[in-house]
Structure 1
Amino acid sequence: MKQNTLSAENRTEAGRGPSRRLRAAGKIPAVIYGVSGTRSLSIDGPGFRALWAKLRGISALIEVVEEGRESVQSLIEEIQRDPITDEVLHIDFKEISADVELQTNIGVRFVGESAGVKSDGAFLDVLSHEVEVRCLPKDLPELIVVDVSELEVGDAIHIRDLKSIEGVLFTEDRDKTIVSCVLPSLVEEEEGVDGEGSELSEEESEGQLGETSEESGEEKGT
């Protein structure tokens, strides 16, 4: 698990006006909550963007360093973005205790070329880009790597098929399907019924951390 650091300042003003002024000054409004309470912060914008580009969808503990306080370990719980400009509007951090198990979602990265895709013109139908795990912070994996190279048409990979990781428990239904290898006609039929599933693309295969966009383009009131 990589260790990453972000500098933060205490934020005493809330609301749209103060938040806009913060962003104009290159800061990002944020909140951190956990065992030590809930605090409003401002995060250095360029520093966060550089860190986020480096992480590229992996899960990582982030040390939030606030002047005048002890630094705390955290995970990014949510990122709010403007739906038009993609500007980061607000960040939620969840404080982590080193000796307390946490439950969170970890991104899935698919590797290899499926035998069915290569030989039969099939597609990889991705049903989940992340899986839920429970573990101590020190055991938190950055990514769950899934090798799809042996998948033939009709094959699937489920939670139960994932390689075990020491200290990590997969908490979802063991029969949950993560990805399957299907012919194009089957994908179209399934999407016509429930709209679920997606064809695997390189960008999507890297897994994702939680991000949301607000239709109004405005952050939470914290």
Structure 2
Amino acid sequence: MTEKFVVAAKPREAQGTGASRRLRRTGWTPAIVYGANKPPQSILVEHKEIYRQMDYEAFYSHILTLDIEGQQEEVVIKAVQRHPAKKQVLHADFLRVQADQAIRVRVPLHFEGEEIAPGVKTGGGVAEHMLNEVEVECLPRYLPEYLTVDISKLELDDTLHLSDLTVPEGVEIVELKHENDAGVVSIHVPRIAKEEDEEEGGDEGEAAEGDSEQDDQQGDDAEGDDDADKS
């Protein structure tokens, strides 16, 4: 992990919904920090700064330094509440971390090799991503910024599952601990193309059936002519 994020904060005195609204109007975002066998603490973070940091994907999968007026703690961000319509962070939850205690964090998946995968390059398929992130469990020092998913060898109709992913030393995928080997990415023919092929096949079948019926009718007409000649 090469990036370092420092979140400046200060203790929060005023509590309640009304106080939170007033604080947001003055450019502060209410937050809370908890964990590591310490009591939870209500804090405030500057909105424009945390909003800027949240633009970085790595912010969500890094050990962050929370600086509360000079008192620093290592944390990870566990939850973010955003305004449904405005570009505004309403609340944030931070979890304290300890070097000897495992943490669970959701990390993004980075997909590689799609353009050279046989199912795409020669099979005419497209890659469908079923997951874009996974929850991992590890000690803080092993926390990866992301997991790489190599799909360069996937054929048409192949699927990669969680158990197929390569994870760094000391890292476990939480879903696999619960025997949930979910699909991550698959390659398949686009639905529109498949429907067009099926329609073309149907048209050809109908045309062939029509020709057959026409041939049968011609045969019946010829047989009728023969009977007329005999009489």
Measured against the shorter chain, the TM-score band is: 0.7 to 0.9
Report the identity percentage. Answer: 35
In structure 1, the gaps of 5 or more residues are: 190-222
2:184 to 162, 178, 184: 178
| CA deviation after TM superposition for structure 1 residue 29, in Å | 0.9
In the alignment, the residues of structure 2 paired with residue 66 and residue 16 of structure 1 have an alpha-carbon distance, to the nearest angstrom, of: 22
2:118–2:154 CA contact under 8 A, matched in 1: yes
2:186 partner letter: S
In the alignment, the residues of structure 2 paired with residue 36 and residue 14 of structure 1 have an alpha-carbon distance, to the nearest angstrom, of: 20
| CA deviation after TM superposition for structure 1 residue 108, in Å | 0.8
| CA deviation after TM superposition for structure 1 residue 54, in Å | 3.2
| CA deviation after TM superposition for structure 1 residue 58, in Å | 5.1
1:157 to 157, 160, 179: 160
Bigger CA radius of gyration: 2
Q: Does 1:105 align with 2:103?
A: no
2:131 to 111, 120, 128: 128
2:141 to 138, 143, 153: 138
In the alignment, the residues of structure 1 paired with residue 27 and residue 151 of structure 2 have an alpha-carbon distance, to the nearest angstrom, of: 42
| CA deviation after TM superposition for structure 1 residue 183, in Å | 1.7
SS at 1:3 equivalent: coil
| CA deviation after TM superposition for structure 1 residue 55, in Å | 3.6
| Partner residue in 1 for 2:76 | 75
In the alignment, the residues of structure 2 paired with residue 32 and residue 91 of structure 1 have an alpha-carbon distance, to the nearest angstrom, of: 9
Q: Given the superposition, is the C-alpha separation of residues 56 and 137 from structure 1 closer, same or farther in structure 2, using an over 3 Å criterion?
A: closer
1:153 partner letter: L
In structure 2, the gaps of 5 or more residues are: 196-231
SS at 2:175 equivalent: coil
1:45 partner letter: H
| Greater strand share, structure number | 1
| Superposed CA RMSD | 2.3
Q: Does 1:33 align with 2:34?
A: yes
Q: Given the superposition, is the C-alpha separation of residues 107 and 65 from structure 1 closer, same or farther in structure 2, using an over 3 Å criterion?
A: same
SS at 2:145 equivalent: coil
In the alignment, the residues of structure 1 paired with residue 169 and residue 52 of structure 2 have an alpha-carbon distance, to the nearest angstrom, of: 31
1:102–1:134 CA contact under 8 A, matched in 2: yes
1:115 to 109, 113, 118: 118
Q: Given the superposition, is the C-alpha separation of residues 58 and 151 from structure 1 closer, same or farther in structure 2, using an over 3 Å criterion?
A: farther
1:181 partner letter: I
| Greater helix share, structure number | 2
Q: Given the superposition, is the C-alpha separation of residues 30 and 101 from structure 1 closer, same or farther in structure 2, using an over 3 Å criterion?
A: same
| CA deviation after TM superposition for structure 1 residue 56, in Å | 5.4
What do the CA deviations read for 1:128-183 (whole angstroms, capped 9, x no partner)? 11122211101100001112222211111112211131121223236321111112
Aligned length: 188
| Partner residue in 2 for 1:89 | 90
